[in-house]
Amino acid sequence: MSTHDSPVHIVVVGCLIRNGLGEILLIRHHKRGWEIPQGRVEAGEGIVDALRREVREETGVEIKPGPLTAVWSKVSPPASLILTFLADYAEGELAPSDETPELGWFSEREGVELVAHPVTRDRLRALLDYSGTVACFSYATNPYKLLGSLGEP
């Protein structure tokens, strides 16, 4: 395979953040609705640095990153690898932005009810059900279809 034919994937990081009350932090995306904070890893940026940056940009808070919980492979264009983590709230006040005008702390039950997009719902379930083993999922979009997994969403 030549360099020109090499696959190119967007790398995305996201995390489920819990506060001291056990609540989870969700943001409202203008297209996908309620979801965990997430975003692209920039060129030359480390994964954990990207995770902290995205959370800070989207929510205004600082986190203590925890374990990698799953790798999601989106095979539909643009191909993406989404790495999901658990994290603890560290400090800061929630700060809405142009990108995330709505955000808040919710109980797990409220969070599951708010998240409507199918892939986002599966990601949230996998994060909430994390058992200590990293899971792997492959999926397509338009329409969303889970193609394979090692673990349960």
Q: What is the pLDDT of residues 114-150, one digit of tens each?
A: 999 999 999 999 999 999 999 999 999 999 999 988 8
Q: What is the pLDDT of residues 53-90, one digit of tens each?
A: 999 999 999 999 999 999 999 999 999 999 999 999 99
Total-model pTM: 0.92
Structure-block tokens of residue 113: 């009810």
* Domain annotation covers residue 47: yes
* Domain annotation covers residue 152: no
The residues near 150 (Cβ < 8 Å, ≥ 6 apart) are: 135, 136, 137
- Domain containing 50 equals 3-147
pLDDT of residue 99: 84
Whats the size of the chain, residue-wise? 153
Q: What is the CATH number of the domain that holds 21?
A: 3.90.79.10
Specify the pairing of strand 80-91 against strand 33-35.
unpaired
* Domain annotation covers residue 70: yes
3-state secondary structure of 10: strand
- Number of structural domains, the chain? 1
Q: What is the pLDDT of residues 6-40, one digit of tens each?
A: 778 999 999 999 999 999 999 998 888 999 999 99
The alpha-carbon radius of gyration of the chain (Å, integer) is 15
Structure-block tokens of residue 103: 């955000």
* Strand (E) or helix (H) holding 46: none
115 contacts 121 by C-beta, under 8 angstroms: yes
